[in-house]
Amino acid sequence: MTANYQDFVRTSLKEKTVFELFKNYLESKNIKYSLNEGEITFNTRANLYSWGEKIKIRFSEGIVVISSQCKLKTQILDWGKNKRNVIKFKKLLVQGET
């Protein structure tokens, strides 16, 4: 089982606004992403905690679901890296609401 973490945030923002917020952040960090219907996905680079993570942000009916999973299928420990990824993007969303 691959190490992963997922959480959600309820938001009053529109889907377009949510994805613009995340797209602007990713583009400012030169991170390539894929945007499909209601979902944005991107990968992080390898770091001290994992060989990189795949992050998905899904929007549906006022709920944003953020998940982070290690790219290497055999990695079962991430030392909290996936949780930190999710918390970082939750904070970004909350800041965007103010």
pLDDT per residue as tens digits for the range 37-78: 889 999 999 988 889 999 999 999 899 999 999 999 999 999
**How far apart are the C-alpha atoms of 57 and 82, rounded to whole Å?**
13
Which three-class secondary structure string do you get for the chain?
A: CCCEEEEEEECCCCHHHHHHHHHHHHHHCCCCEEEECCEEEEECCCCCCCCCEEEEEEEECCEEEEEEEECCCCCCCCCCHHHHHHHHHHHHHHHHHC
pLDDT band at 13 (very low <50, low <70, confident <90, very high): very high
What is the model's pLDDT at position 82?
A: 95
What is the model's pLDDT at position 60?
A: 92
What is the model's pLDDT at position 48?
A: 84
Q: What pTM was computed for the model? A: 0.92
What is the model's pLDDT at position 47?
A: 84
Overall fold of domain 4-97: TATA-Binding Protein (3.30.310)
Strand order across the beta sheet in which 63-70 lies: 4-10, 63-70, 53-60, 39-43, 33-36
Copy the structure tokens of residue 53. 């993570």
pLDDT band at 97 (very low <50, low <70, confident <90, very high): confident
